[in-house]
Amino acid sequence: MSTLTRRNFIGKTAIAISSIAALQKVAGADRSRSDPGPANAGLDGQNPDSIWPPDTDSKSLVQNFKYPFSFANKRTYQGGWSREVTVRELPVSKTLAGVNMRLTAGGVRELHWHTSAEWAIMLYGSARITAIDADGKSFVADVNKNDLWFFPSGIPHSIQGLNPDGCEFMLVFDDGDFSESETVLLSDAMAHLPRGVLSKDFGVGEKAFQNVPKQELFIFQADVPGALEADQKAAAGALGKSPEDFAFRTMEMPPTKQRKGGEVRIVDSRNFKVATTAMAMVTVHPGGLRELHWHPNADEWQYYISGKGRMTVVATGNKARTMDFQEGDVGYVQKTLLHYIEWRICISTKRPSMQYQERRRS
């Protein structure tokens, strides 16, 4: 046994005290990152960067910029359904709103128009879109997965699902307060007009309007339409077809930019003449990053189509927040705010890419 001296006693005591302090520090750290109370394990698993934010996030939070469409209430009809995410669900989204819609084969979103311009991307299946331009001429076209359409404000249009299983699509509007339940519907407009007025306006007898619906249809089931060419000819009538093309075949264009980490296709008035604002389809490959950037004069509304990712937004006032995204989620970034989108590890042997749509409004 070594001789105990004052000097080595002090030294050994100091070591012991420091070791205890270190153990307490580790134990304290463990306790501070524990969460023994009730939890929603499913949501926690989808949002790890909200449960335990990275150290680079600020303690004072940036306003929430994520909303899952899974939280949105569906309006269901014979022929399909509709749900929306607006400023009411996502308060930061003041300038843009989105509507997700499904139509069965033959299901119709009845002829309508609205004060906001409408961007759309087909997510599934096939549809026939019909529009009447400002000169009263008709446009009829079939659209498929990843195709786009754009209808300016006030342009009447309708959508119908085709065989074999209808369609699903995402609509984005230039107004955060927009609601799909507040559009001008043909059925609703006719129901609010006296038959005598309709008779004079259309030049037919009042009996022709005896079966006009007494309330809006919104979405309804009908027969699957026939050949596209027959519909185009019938719609053209005496005025003829519209010279405007309201549809865009996204995947027929080469990527606007292509890098090892992913690619982007940008669609705006330069390659889609009727569009007044821009849309981008972004694919981030495994391990890839949509680089740090900001938009000087446009808010950005995002819809995540596939895969998983995360985004950090750096706001004014020395604030930053990181949130996780997966398919079906909406993201929103206010103009001038720095952000990036990073691919996240997916539990899959195929390591799928992440794909999302950006819609920008200045």
Cβ atoms of 353 and 286 within 8 Å: the answer is: yes
Q: Taking residues 155-171, report their average pLDDT.
A: 98
pLDDT surpassing 50 at residue 167? yes
| Of 61 and 296, more confident | 296
Does residue 344 share a domain with residue 282?
A: yes
Q: Which two tokens stand for residue 214?
A: 């007494």
The confidence score (pLDDT) of residue 94 equals: 96
Return the pLDDT at 350: 46
Six token digits for residue 348: 């899959």
Last residue of a domain, one of 229, 248, 267: 248
- Residue 156 in any domain: the answer is yes
Is residue 27 situated within a structural domain?
Answer: no
Q: Are 231 and 333 contained in the same domain?
A: no
Chain segment 45-90, per-residue pLDDT in tens: 999 999 999 999 999 889 999 999 999 999 999 999 999 999 999 9
Q: Residue 214 — pLDDT band, cuts 50, 70, 90?
A: confident
Q: What is the pLDDT of residues 334-352, one digit of tens each?
A: 999 999 999 986 543 345 6
Do 241 and 169 reside in the same domain of the chain? yes
Q: Are 310 and 323 in contact (CB under 8 A)?
A: yes
- Provide the pLDDT confidence category of residue 12 given band limits of 50, 70 and 90: low
274 and 202 in a common domain: no
Q: pLDDT-derived band of residue 5, with 50, 70 and 90 as boundaries?
A: low
Instruction: Determine what percent of the chain is predicted with pLDDT higher than 70.
Output: 89
Note the pLDDT tens digit of each residue in 193-208: 898 998 999 999 988 8
Residues 328 and 346 in one domain: yes
Same domain, 307 and 158: no
Domain count, the chain: 2
User: What's the CA gap between 290 and 358, in Å, rounded?
Assistant: 12
What's the pLDDT score for residue 31? 78
Q: Looking at the domain assignment, is residue 26 inside a domain?
A: no
If pLDDT is split at 50, 70 and 90, which confidence band does 7 have?
A: low
Count CB-CB contacts under 10 A for residue 10: 10
Tell me whether residue 308 is in a domain.
Answer: yes
Q: What is residue 183's predicted lDDT score, i.e. its pLDDT?
A: 87
**Which long-range CB contacts under 8 A does 226-235 form with residues at least 24 apart?**
228/128, 228/140, 228/141, 228/142, 231/128, 231/130, 231/140, 232/138, 232/140, 235/130, 235/138, 235/140
Closest CA to 72 of 83, 86, 64: 83
Look at residue 301 and tell me whether its pLDDT is greater than 60.
yes
Query: Is pLDDT larger for residue 212 or for residue 240?
Result: 240
Decide if 172 is inside a domain: yes
CB 138 within 8 A of CB 130: yes
CA–CA distance, 293 with 280 (Å, rounded to integer): 14
Q: Is 231 left (phi over 0), alpha (psi -120 to 50) or beta?
A: alpha
The phi, psi pair for 274, rounded to 5°, reads -80, -15
Q: Single out the residue in 216, 248, 280 at which a domain terminates.
A: 248
**Domain containing residue 202: CATH number:** 2.60.120.10
User: Same structural domain for residues 156 and 174?
Assistant: yes
Which of 214, 248, 282 is the C-terminal boundary of a domain?
A: 248
Q: Which pLDDT score, from 0 to 100, does residue 113 have? A: 96
Across 24-28, 42-46, 352-356, the highest mean pLDDT is recorded for: 42-46
Q: Does 20 map to a domain?
A: no
Q: Identify whether residues 222 and 98 lie together within a single domain.
A: yes
What average pLDDT score do residues 11-31 get?
A: 52
pLDDT confidence of residue 347: 45
Give the pLDDT of residue 353: 75
What does the pLDDT read at residue 6?
52
Tokens describing residue 34: 């524990």
Is residue 351 located within the same domain as residue 335?
yes
**Residue 311 within a domain:** yes
Mean pLDDT of the chain: 90
The verdict on residue 357 lying in a domain is: yes
Catalytic residues: 109, 112, 114, 118, 157, 180
Assess whether 88 and 115 both reside in one domain: yes
**Pair 161, 298 in one domain:** no
Which run of H or E residues covers position 28?
helix 6-32
> Could you list the residue range(s) of the whole structural domain that residue 272 is in?
251-361
The DSSP bridge partners found for residue 248 are: 148
The pLDDT assigned to 337 comes to 97
CA distance 158 to 186: 10
For range 121-149, the mean pLDDT: 98
Q: What is the pLDDT of residue 192?
A: 87
Per-residue pLDDT reduced to its tens digit, 174-183:
999 999 888 8
167, 209: one domain: yes
Given a cut of 90, whether residue 294 has pLDDT beyond it is yes
Phi, psi of 125 (to 5 degrees): 75, -155
Least confident of 6-10, 58-62, 90-94, 191-195: 6-10
Is residue 27 pLDDT above 80, yes or no? no
